[in-house]
């Protein structure tokens, strides 16, 4: 018999600061994944708190929205849900640490009650949200190691490589992307929100955007390489739909260690995809073999600071940061 792990990935349209609604979506999809025999399900980045309205919040509003991990109410609820369903659940929110610092964080609650937390390494959503300072890779009851990188973290190829070198077999890559303003002329771009609002009357228009250069086409330029180059599965989850002036493109998908898409969706709605990961592919995948022939003695240049180094926030908003009114 094949050594198989069934995993699910979700795209859903969250509501800004509406934790009750967002938790309802998590509950529904976790139950559906459990019914379909999945051992693990990944939800999008900051799906509990909401995402792109955050730049417009005051520090006090941001602190009121944030929660502790792993003992805050949302995490406790998801931990209980994971235990009741016998499934691992990943979800994101704004974390408030013990010393009051704020982070864009993603946690995975395992069925045995343990929780693993990753703080986004390249945070830019708000001046008060800090970047994390460590990678997150952990063992699971299924005999595989899982790593987490949140959205922008995945753009930096060294982050994926470091996660693989720490033994990750599966990379969870929760996002809120697609349809974003970009300073780079051939990457992403805004989608007219009216196209999303008119999706039922003109489904072809929104499908064109989801599959085009502001959505799937952009993802396919780089996301499969994170899996192939490092010999690990990638579980991509994302928001879908209108998010405070931008339109997320969904494209939830699961990719194997050869960079092949096992399953995906381009539906203009909340959706879940499920795939069986053949774990026997891992040992002889090209990425795993390439890791063994690395030449670290040649890589000193990689860890040297660049003369034009800048913060993630400076680079991300090189065109103009979102205004404090909350507009994007």
**Which tens digit of pLDDT belongs to each residue from 135-156?**
999 999 999 999 999 999 999 9
Query: Does a structural domain hold residue 262?
Result: yes
- Residue 36 in any domain: the answer is yes
Return the percentage of the chain with pLDDT > 70, whole number. 97
CA distances to 126, 322, 328 from 317, in Å:
11, 8, 11
User: Quick check: is 147 in a domain?
Assistant: yes
How many Cα atoms occupy the beta-carbon half-sphere of 280 within 13 Å? 4
Q: pLDDT (tens digit, 9 = 90+) per residue, 83-108? A: 999 999 999 999 999 999 999 999 99
DSSP three-state, residue 70: coil
The vertex-12 CA angle with 47 and 90, nearest 5°, equals: 45
Task: Indicate whether 298 belongs to any domain.
Answer: no
Determine the structural domain holding residue 239 and report its residue range. Answer: 4-292+310-316
Which pLDDT band holds residue 256 (cuts at 50, 70, 90)?
very high
What residues pair up with 147 in beta bridges, in sequence order? 137, 171
Separation of alpha carbons 314 and 300, rounded Å: 26
Burial of residue 44 (CB within 10 Å: 0-12, 13-18, 19+) is buried
Tell me, what CATH number does 145's domain have? 3.60.110.10
Alpha-carbon span 321 to 328, nearest angstrom:
8
pLDDT of residue 88: 98
> How far is it, in rounded angstroms, from Cα 106 to Cα 41?
13
pTM for this model (two decimals)? 0.95
Please, where are the H alpha helices in the chain? 19-35, 59-65, 73-85, 157-165, 193-197, 203-211, 216-219, 223-230, 286-292, 312-316
Query: Is 300 inside a domain boundary?
Result: no
Number of domains forming the structure of the chain: 1
Measure the CA dihedral 280/283/288/290, to 10°. Answer: -120
Residue 101 DSSP one-character state: -
What size, in residues, is the chain? 328
Q: What is the mean pLDDT of residues 218-229?
A: 98
Strand-pairing partners, residue 117, are: 107
Q: Does the residue 260 lie in any domain?
A: yes
Report residue 257 as tokens. Answer: 């260690």
Predicted confidence band at 287 (pLDDT cuts at 50, 70, 90)?
A: very high
Q: What percent of the chain has pLDDT over 90?
A: 90
Residue 323: per-residue pLDDT: 61
Whether residue 276 is predicted with pLDDT greater than 90 in this model: the reply is: yes
**Distance of alpha carbon 130 from alpha carbon 128, whole angstroms:** 6
Asked if the structure places residue 162 within a domain, the reply is yes
Residue 325's pLDDT is 40
pLDDT at residue 182 above 90? no
Residue 64 reports pLDDT greater than 90: yes
Is 170 within a domain?
yes
Burial of 53 (0-12, 13-18, 19+ CB in 10 A): buried
d(CA 205, CA 211): 10
Question: What pLDDT band is residue 307 in, cutting at 50, 70 and 90?
Answer: confident
Please report the pLDDT score of residue 57 as a whole number: 97
Q: Among 50-64, 167-181, 298-312, whose mean pLDDT is lowest?
A: 298-312
Q: What is the pLDDT of residue 326?
A: 39
Q: Rounded to an integer, what distance in angstroms lies between the CA atom of residue 174 and that of residue 153?
A: 10
Q: In which band, very low, low, confident or very high, does the pLDDT at 320 lie, cut at 50, 70 and 90?
A: low
């Amino acid at each position: 018999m094949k050594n198989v792990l069934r995993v699910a990935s979700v795209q859903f349209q969250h509501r800004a600061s509406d934790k009750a609604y967002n938790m309802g979506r998590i509950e529904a999809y976790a139950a559906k994944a459990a019914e379909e025999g999945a051992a693990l399900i990944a939800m999008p980045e900051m799906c509990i708190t909401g995402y792109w309205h955050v730049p417009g919040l005051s520090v006090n509003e941001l602190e009121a929205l944030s929660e502790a991990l792993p003992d805050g109410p949302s995490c406790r609820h998801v931990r209980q849900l994971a235990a009741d369903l016998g499934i691992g659940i990943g979800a994101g929110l704004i974390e408030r640490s013990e010393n009051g610092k704020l982070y864009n964080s993603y946690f995975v609650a395992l069925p045995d009650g343990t929780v693993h937390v990753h703080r986004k390494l390249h945070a830019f959503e708000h001046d008060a949200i800090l970047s994390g300072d460590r990678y997150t890779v952990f063992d699971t009851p299924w005999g595989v190691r899982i790593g987490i990188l949140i959205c922008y973290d995945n753009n930096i190829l060294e982050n994926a490589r470091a996660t693989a070198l720490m033994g990750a077999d599966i990379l969870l890559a929760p996002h809120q992307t697609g349809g974003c303003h970009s300073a780079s002329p051939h990457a992403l771009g805004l989608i007219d929100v009216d196209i999303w609002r008119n999706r039922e009357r003109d489904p072809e228009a929104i499908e064109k955007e989801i599959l085009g250069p502001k959505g799937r086409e952009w993802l396919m330029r780089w996301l499969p390489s994170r899996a192939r180059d490092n010999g690990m599965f990638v579980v991509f989850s994302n928001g879908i739909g209108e998010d405070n002036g931008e339109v997320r493109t969904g494209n939830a998908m699961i990719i194997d260690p050869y960079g092949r898409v096992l399953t995906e969706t381009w539906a203009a709605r909340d959706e879940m995809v499920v795939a069986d990961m053949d774990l026997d592919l891992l040992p002889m995948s090209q990425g795993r073999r390439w890791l063994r022939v690395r030449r670290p003695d040649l890589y000193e240049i990689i860890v040297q600071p660049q003369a034009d180094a800048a913060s993630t926030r400076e680079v991300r908003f090189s065109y103009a940061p979102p205004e404090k009114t909350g507009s994007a």
